[in-house]
Amino acid sequence: MTRSAIELHVDADDRRIARLTALAIGLTLAEAALPSPIPGVKPGLANIVVLLVLLQHGWRTAAWVSGLRVLAGGLLLGTLFAPGFWLSAAGALASLLVLALARHLPGRYFGPVSLSVLAAFGHIGGQLALAGAWLLPGVALITLLPVFAAAALLFGAINGVVVARLLDRPGADATLTQQS
């Protein structure tokens, strides 16, 4: 057998990113099947994974998981490079940037709920900024802004509580990391 010319070194970090990304993709797909009363308003369940990864493995891993999740989600849902994909990417990027700043907040006072809500606002901020600048210029997106903001607050808070509860369980460190 000819040896492959390219050899990919897969280390533990890569495997962890792949495993966590798979989890996030699963949630993205499950969420896509849920009917939504308003287009664009989604619970953002994959953000639970991103936030858990951020808190357990740091920002770099979370950024990988988030980015790969958007890419693979686009592939699987058939929206790759379609407007919805770019909106998703803009939202993910903005929320990662917000998290990069917000994770330096003192953890004694600001827990996962804060991070989740701020990230959710970052998400809609990024999406609406792109939508306003590129997809729907001139359309009064501001009229929709309160709806999206309310959804971000609600789902951000719920996701944050989920993350906090997952981390709060005894042996929480083992659940996502050593489960291979």
Binding segment for other proteins among 12-20, 52-60, 61-69, 163-171 (CB under 8 A)? Answer: 163-171
Task: Work out the angle between the directed axes of helices 112-130 and 145-168 (0-180°, nearest 10).
Answer: 150
CB atoms within 10 A of CB 73: 26
Query: Least Å distance between CB 117 and other proteins?
Result: 5
Binding string to other proteins for residues 79 to 118, with x set by CB under 8 A, is what?
A: --------------------------xx-xxxx-xx--xx
> Rounded CA gap, 160 and 45, in Å?
10
Between 71 and 145, whose beta carbon lies closer to other proteins?
A: 145
The yes or no reply on residue 174 touching other proteins (CB under 8 A) is no
Query: Least Å distance between CB 21 and other proteins?
Result: 26
Between 40 and 111, whose beta carbon lies closer to other proteins?
A: 111
* CA 26, 148, 80, 94 torsion-angle sign: negative
> Rounded CA gap, 143 and 134, in Å?
17
> Rounded CA gap, 125 and 109, in Å?
24
Running DSSP on this structure, what letter comes out for residue 110?
Answer: -
Running DSSP on this structure, what letter comes out for residue 134?
Answer: I
The yes or no reply on residue 51 touching other proteins (CB under 8 A) is no
* CA 61, 109, 175, 48 torsion-angle sign: negative
Binding segment for other proteins among 67-75, 82-90, 125-133, 150-158 (CB under 8 A)? Answer: 150-158
> Rounded CA gap, 27 and 149, in Å?
22
Between 82 and 150, whose beta carbon lies closer to other proteins?
A: 150
The yes or no reply on residue 145 touching other proteins (CB under 8 A) is yes
Query: Least Å distance between CB 25 and other proteins?
Result: 27
The yes or no reply on residue 77 touching other proteins (CB under 8 A) is no
- Type of residue numbered 163: V
Q: Which residues bind other proteins (CB under 8 A)?
A: 105-106, 108-111, 113-114, 117-118, 121, 142-143, 145-146, 149-150, 152-153, 156-157, 160-161, 164-165, 167-168
